[in-house]
Amino acid sequence: EVQLQASGGGLVQAGGSLRLSCAASGFTFDDFAIAWFRQAPGKEREGVSCISSSDGSTWYEDSVKGRFTISSDNAKNTVYLQMNSLKPEDTAVFYCAAALGLRVGDLDPYLMDYWGKGTQVTVSS
């Protein structure tokens, strides 16, 4: 059974940090790109960051460049999203998702094969 378990969300003040984790199981982790998406109330789901488990290439959405860092621990089948300098506009439900063979620059929610349940990130001003 494929599972993507996201965790690490919470309430933080503006300027603070959180680290999200996405633990994967039930598929060959090294063959997949793992991504983080977020969805704020009333807005469409948008890609935040993506990492290729095979070659380590990464992609970031412009608004998070320099603040967020995605990393992968292939031994643990886990992807992390370190989020620093958080802003109120980062408030959203964050989801992790996986896609077989996806190039990180082609991130699109419709191309993802598996989704985890979301974790809420709330940034207060």
Per-residue pLDDT tens over the stretch 5-54: 999 999 999 999 999 999 999 988 889 999 999 999 999 999 999 999 99
Q: Return the DSSP state at 106.
A: G
Q: Which residues contact 38 (CB under 8 A, 6 or more apart)?
A: 45, 46, 48, 90, 92, 93, 94, 95, 121
How much is the CA Rg of the chain, to the nearest whole Å? 13
* pLDDT 10s digits, 102-112: 999 999 999 99
* Contact status, residue 22 vs residue 95, Cβ threshold 8 Å: no
CA distance 29 to 118: 20
Q: Which residues contact 62 (CB under 8 A, 6 or more apart)?
A: none
* Contact status, residue 121 vs residue 40, Cβ threshold 8 Å: no
